[in-house]
Amino acid sequence: MTNELKNKESYNWLYHLHYIRGEFETCEKQIQKHNAKSEYASYLIGLIKLRQSDVKGAITEFTSIKSNETTYVKAIARCLMLLGRHSNVCELIRESGLKLSPNDWQLWHILGTAYMHLGQISLAKDAFQHSLQATNQIEPFLLLSQCHLIESDTKSAIFVIRRATELSPNDATLNTKLGLLLFANGMSAKGVDKLMQLSHLSANSPGNLSLALAVGSVLQEIKMDIDGALYRYKMANNFESPCLWNNVAICFASRKKFVAAVSCLKRALYLNTLDWKINYNLGLLNLQLRQFASAFHYLKTAATLSNGLPNVFSLLAICLENLEDDTNARQAHITATKSPHGAFPLPLLNYAIYLHTTDMDRDLAIELLMEYEQCWLKRRANIDFDENMIKTATKLAQALNLSSHMAWTKEPPTHHAIANSINDGHADSENKGNTIKEENQADC
């Protein structure tokens, strides 16, 4: 029995050597040649089948191993994850893996990931916390923060990432995540400072897409350094990213190079057809270029994919106005202003301008302008209120003889730049409220 075991295991070094060299076919041939299939040989065949996308074949090889090693349990669990059988993953780890090694952080991490896919966030958080008791690896920190974000608990998410950065202060992924979280949750100055601290990393470490997108977005929108942003995107060295092409397009659009911007956005759309922001930006650029039929096509798609965001419907209405379809234009304006997402200032202003310029309903236009004023009073620090929009609203108020009553004419609003959206608005009565809002995807 001992000699038989030695014969089976004696060629493991050779199998391992071929595998780590990437000589997978040779590895399989060697295993078949010696006709002495050890546990390690079965494990390597399973890994090779997994690389060849034969997940079911890999599971067959892993389950044929009669051993109580957690390595094989993890391998089977990962295969089940790829097949979407998350309930089976949870059952396998609870019934087998954790009984063999209750303090294995990877088992708890896989279990937490499976719970996340099942929507059981509280159980997922518990699993990630167990994982963190046994390791200081960054993966559990990132997914635990993601659980908090799913529950809209941004303070806890920031706390978790900050704890992770204390343990790994030089980790670019963690610092990028922390900077974006701070930026998106009312601490924009701290977020910008954190991301700019990473600026030298994005310039000197090619291949980090998330870092390049975050730093590039800050440079192009906050620092107005378009050349610096384009250089960071180039250093990302990942030209199959729809987010990257979207942001490059916004850089070109800011320089009025609309043909280049449209080309970049179409490349982004090819890579991710179902991203509503890319369709939205294409619609905006075509609207700017007065290609109203094309703009309608892209904005209609964006409205469908974004579950009817008011700003999308408002610009869709402007396309219909210019296509001389007044009936559907008014219906689109009504849909935008009566959205379940709440009141947004841009649709209110555009609809009021439409009613004023078409002499349809002066009283309703005044009512919409009053509602716009309420939005301004409640959200005056929001990016939705840029200088061009306020000028347009003032012109409309003057045309309706209401300028002396509007609150924004007495106190100018405060403006704050946001990393994932910029306004290049040109809303006025002459162009029927054609406000152009360009959006970036700083973190995909």
The residues, ordered by sequence, that sit 6+ positions from 173 with a Cβ below 8 Å of its Cβ are: 138, 142, 208, 210, 211
- Euclidean distance between CA atoms 31 and 14, whole angstroms: 9
441: nearest Cα among 143, 209, 154: 209
Helices and strands in the chain: count of H runs, count of E runs: 26, 2
323 in Cβ contact with 296 (< 8 Å): yes
Task: Report DSSP letters for 228-242, one per residue.
Answer: HHHHHHHHT--TT-H
Torsion angle in degrees (nearest 10) through CA of 185, 190, 193, 195:
-30
408: nearest Cα among 431, 364, 374: 374
Q: At what angle do helices 138-150 and 105-118 cross, to 10 degrees?
A: 20
Which three-class secondary structure state does DSSP give residue 421? strand
pLDDT attached to residue 419? 29
Burial of 4 (0-12, 13-18, 19+ CB in 10 A): exposed
pLDDT attached to residue 126? 92
314: nearest Cα among 288, 292, 336, 281: 336
Question: Which residue(s) pair with 439 in the sheet?
Answer: 421
- Euclidean distance between CA atoms 384 and 382, whole angstroms: 5
| Domain segments of the chain as ranges | 279-439
422 in Cβ contact with 438 (< 8 Å): yes
pLDDT attached to residue 249? 92
Cα distances from 384 to residues 248, 315, 319, 393, in angstroms, run 23, 14, 20, 13
- CATH code, 279-439: 1.25.40
Instruction: Sort strands 421-423 and 437-439 into parallel, antiparallel or unpaired.
Output: antiparallel
Which three-class secondary structure state does DSSP give residue 180? helix
pLDDT attached to residue 276? 92
pLDDT attached to residue 426? 32
pLDDT attached to residue 379? 66
Cα distances from 221 to residues 58, 192, 216, 247, 419, in angstroms, run 48, 11, 9, 11, 6
339: nearest Cα among 380, 318, 375, 311: 311
Listed as ranges, residues in the chain with pLDDT below 50 are 1-5, 382-383, 412-444
pLDDT attached to residue 406? 67
- Euclidean distance between CA atoms 324 and 23, whole angstroms: 65
pLDDT attached to residue 4? 46
Q: Exposure string (b/e) for 100-135, b if CB count within 10 Å is 16 or more? A: ebeebbbbbbbbbbbbbeeebbebbbbbbebbbebb
Scan for tokens 């997994």, then name that residue.
Answer: 50
pLDDT attached to residue 172? 79
